Structure 1
């Protein structure tokens, strides 16, 4: 191994014998320096380990913590707590008026964000007001389980606030989410031929009407002449 190394240094790199000896001496000196450094590092580490006394440092730490607590106690005395003269309402006692609540009131409910609150208000306006809690389930994306869970919180308030005046509305005004176009067309044709419809009983006698649709729509109908 050593003759090959010498051959490589002398004939491949073109080094003289003196230069080769210098390289060897340099490598030896570097190795000695690294060895001395390692020995010194080891001695320093051993001295540190010998100096470290866990019990002594634990006592110092506990003393510092006690002084810190005393200093904080002087700087930040305990606050004065007064007896409250009011009691917060229970969570179950809080109600929401389905027909009078704004978007902020809806957002206060668990699981309702601004987008959902806007969707509920839009659907309420299209209906003309809620007349029962189950109508919340008809809002697009509404979870039926959520409605049942918070059913006790809902109040109808004024209920339906806008009704369809079946004897007065023009064609373009006769619109409602519960009223299909075909049923609206049939009724308006009947009204055009027979005149005013007095009440829901008379309306139910119209043969071509789907009474399942009109029963659902009944809370929103007004028969004023």
Structure 2
């Protein structure tokens, strides 16, 4: 029965033979021919690869080189620093209590005496200690110490304070750090205020540094002029209050309204209750007011 399936014509036999040859040929090609395409390389890629090698080499050096050791003054060890060094809480507290007495340890031995740390821990952390140079050369200083000879200095000349409200432009320019512009601003501010009542008001003059203000305080003081007239806060009109340099019109209006609804002001604390009042200037403002 099966033999009838294997009966082929001469053409069929030829076709089967050619098919087998094709299969064998493809198999041979598959095993012996390299189908991998040559990868294309670019000059930029070569540069990047070379740079990457340098980066990798630098990282390797960084990881292999020995970590740098930083020294420190053991007098200023914090809780966290002491914990990282291996000190116990009691040992750290002893050092902090010692420092609160404004005392310092000047050697590793003194450090151990105060903290009572073990010899093994001291041997580990002592190489990290760095004390001031003078503690290491204390004996040298003592040896070189000479007899103290008291020196006499010329008596410092007493500066007579002038009245800032009577100062002229020439008086102001004589102060180091003040020129024509700053002296003009000071005189203008005095004119606006109707006279200074406190040296603190110089801080409001634009351009005056703290150093220059200190110089002014060492040469001038405020003397209230005999004819200085204060503002009667409980009788002043809205116009009078709004003309006061430290009060804006809106604040002056609120003061008059508050006064009419709540009665007279007894002190500066009553004025501070008004919204928008310059509290930071309350001390100076009170010098201008009469309650």
TM-score (norm 1): 0.48
The higher relative CO (CA closer than 8 Å, separation ≥ 6) is in: 1
TM-score (norm 2): 0.39
